[in-house]
Structures are given as C-alpha cells and as structure tokens.
Copies of this chain bind each other. A is one copy, B any other.
Amino acid sequence: MRTLSKDLKAAVGKKVSIEGWLHKKRLLGGLTFINVRDRGGLTQVVIKDKDEVEKLRGLQIGTVLRVAGTAKDEPRAPGGVELHDASLEILVPVTEEPPIEIDKPLSHKPENLDTLFDHRVLGLRNLQETSIFRIRSELLRYIREFLYKNDFVEINTPKLVAGAAEGGAEVFKLDYFGKEATLAQSPQLYKQIMVGVFERVFEIAPAFRAELSATTRHVSEVTMLDIEMGFIKDHNDVLNMLQDLVYDVLVRVYKEHDEELKSLHAPELVLKPEFPRYPMADIHKMFTEATGKDTTKELDLTPEEEKWICEYAKEKEGCEAVFATGLPIEKMKFYHMAEDDKTARSADLLFRGVEISTVPQREHRHENLVEQMKKAGVDPNSPGFAHYVAAFKHGLPPHGGCGFGIDRLTEKVIGLANIKEAILFPRDINRLSP
C-alpha cells in the first residue's frame, strides 16, 4: 500500500511505503537526506544505511522510486514528518542531470520567460508551478459548481466554423475539405443561439486568436469561460450573476488554498459581495481630478484608469473588483444593445487593475439586430451568420452574457505578471512548442 506525502502525518510511528520522484538530494552530517515528490507534496527521507545510499549513486533528480520506512515527527521537515530507516527501490532510474533546477522557485522575470517555457515539461514539476496549475484546476471546478447550482447547462460548440464569427479581429484560417474554415475566436453566436434552447448555458473551451502583437498580453490560444442567460430584465441581471460567481469562486479559492496562495505570494483578497459600480464617465472625472491627467475625452478606460479605479475601490470601499458601467455607444458591438444614443447596456468587470470581462445585454430584436449588423458591415445572410439570425427571427428572449479567460483569471488571482505563466503550454506569435 502506497501512502501519499500529505497523509504521512497521520501515519507517524508506522511503517509506510511512499512512491514518487527524487526531488532533491543532500548530504548533512554524514547522513543522506532526500526529498521525494508525489501528488501529495514532498516527503523528507533520512538514509543512514550505506547500501541504501549506494542505490542512489549516479542517479539524478527525476528518478522514480519507492521508499519504505518509519514515519517520525520532525518539525523541520516539510509537513512536519520525516521517513526514517529508509530502504529504497528504484523504479525508473534517471541518469541525466535536468537542464534546470526544479527544487527551488523558477524565475518568472520577463527576460527568463523563454527559458521557463523552453523547459516547461520539467519546470512544471517545480512545486510553485504545480500550485499555480492546481489552483487553476480548482478555479475551473468552482466555476462549474456555481453554474450547475444556478441552472446553467454545459454546451460544446464547434471550433471549426464558416467565416469569422464576430468579424474584425484576426482569425486563423484553414482548408476544410476544399472550403475555407476559421478557428472560432469565441462561441459568441452559438451561445446566443443556445439561449433559445436552455435559457442558461456555459462553455469552457479553447478560443483562437491570430494576434500579430507579441506583447505580454497576447497569446494565440486561450481557455475561455463563456456564459449566456435569457429572460433577463436588463444587463444588471447578468452583472449580478457574474458578481455572485466571482465572489463565490474567489472567496472559496482563498479559503481552500490559503497555504498555496501564500507560498505563491498571491496578494490578499479584498472583496465584498457587492462590487462597487461606477459609470465610466464618472471614472474619467474622478481620475482626472485625482491625477491631473485629463481623460474626460476618452471613450474607454485607459490602462492607467483601470489600475487606478481598482486601487480606489479597494481603499475606499474595501473591494478590488468593480464594474465600470455605461460603455460609450461608439465602443458597442453589433450584437450589443443600446441603452440610449450615448451608451450601451454593458459594463466592464475590472479586477486588480485589469478588465476581466465585458458584460452586455444583447440586442435580441430581430429587426434591430439585422440593422446593427448591416451598419457594422456584417452580412446577415452569409454562411457564418444566417443561422444566428434565424434564431432571432424565431424568438430569442432578452438575454445577456459574458466571457472571460481562465488564463487571465488565474494570472490575476495568483498575482502573476504575464498571462502565459498561467498557461501550461502557452502559444504566441513565436511559440508553437512544447
């Protein structure tokens, strides 16, 4: 029977057997200490017996082994427990030294990111990296659990589509049995269609963007959460749902993964169940007054304003998530609904200084939609749009939704500097492997 590192504390005084990777090896006062990594963490093993020490000769970090021994309390060891009287069995010998040292935190400095990703396959075995992606997996789980509880149905929509779904942004194109297909940038059209079926739907899936920019913010493949809900009064219903979701998920991850978040130096969470809501025009005024930099002529929030308003709300309201309401009509997309001739029924969710999601009501009235499409230069009868428009012609209720990147959320929760650090195997203009 195999015992996991995390369960060793409960086995103190007993003979146990662990299995894992040789993670670290050192000599101290004539004794050999090794750390063994398994999915439950690290176990420190003390090896006295010369024959046992001999088994490790020439073996490198990564060697897979089984260790039998007695669990003893040891406050200085990881988990407060240590294995004594160890006998070793080598399961998979590794003789080549790893190209990176994985037993201490890896550098995430901008100038070292290429090295980080070049050695991703091994680097992910580092405990800090493991924590990042365990937290990411938990965020996914909490999000789904919230959505299930609230009657949302999970959908899988196609990623190979005819024509660029939302138009505008760069898309990847490919030959699809002689036709041209594009890789879906988002499930926008499909999730709206599906409101006509289930009212409330969500999808968590890859989305593809052929962004030519090579900044820290741009990756060409992201994991998107997409949500859409029908029978709303206006976009405030969606805002409220998203606020509840984000509050629920963030509070839970800080509660259940407190230790891991601390070890990653994640910022403390400052959140209230009701996020402050500021009209965008007010933010421009507040920012201008506070900083002396005039942004009152801006349409959208500037990156500087996004940071500022989150800091402001954190300090004044005790909440680092805010909604910026009243998106100027000039920034409205064809599938959004106008509030009046100045603003759209839409708000941005900002968290820790960046926009996480845009939360609009959709234009659900067939005639208005077709008109807005034409104005935007989108052909309602084209193969990419004809079916979408049909859903409206045959009745879609008032609805709205939002989408946000799981990568971005993970980045901001943990306080990483670059979205790519929150992606197992990131893709950008220069990187297609590993």
Contact = CB atoms under 8 A, between A and B. Distances in A.
Number of copies of this chain that the complex holds:
2
A92 B395 contact: yes
A394 B63 CA distance: 7
A213 to B, nearest CB: 11
A231 B2 contact: yes
Interface string A188-218: 0010011011111000011010101000000
Interface string A353-386: 0000000000011000000000000000001101
Contacts of A94: 393-395
A122 B194 CA distance: 10
B39 A434 contact: no
Candidate in A193, A386, A406 with the most chain B CB atoms within 10 angstroms: A193
A251 interface: no
Nearest to A60: B394
A425 interface: yes
A388 to B, nearest CB: 8
A153 interface: yes
B155 A424 contact: yes
A108 interface: no
Interface size class of chain A, counting residues whose CB lies under 8 Å from the partner chain: 35 or more
Contacts of A432: 160-162, 176, 179, 181, 383
Contacts of A124: 194, 196-197
Given A62-B394, A157-B424, 20 more contacts: A19-B231, A22-B395, A39-B199, A64-B396, A92-B396, A94-B395, A96-B393, A122-B390, A124-B196, A133-B153, A133-B155, A141-B144, A157-B425, A159-B159, A160-B172, A160-B220, A172-B175, A193-B434, A384-B433, A386-B434
Contacts of A197: 124-125, 129-130, 133
Contact of A122 (B129, B130, B151, B391): B391
A296 interface: no
A158 B208 CA distance: 10
Contacts of A175: 172-173
A105 interface: no
Interface string A382-424: 0110111011011111100000001000000000000000011
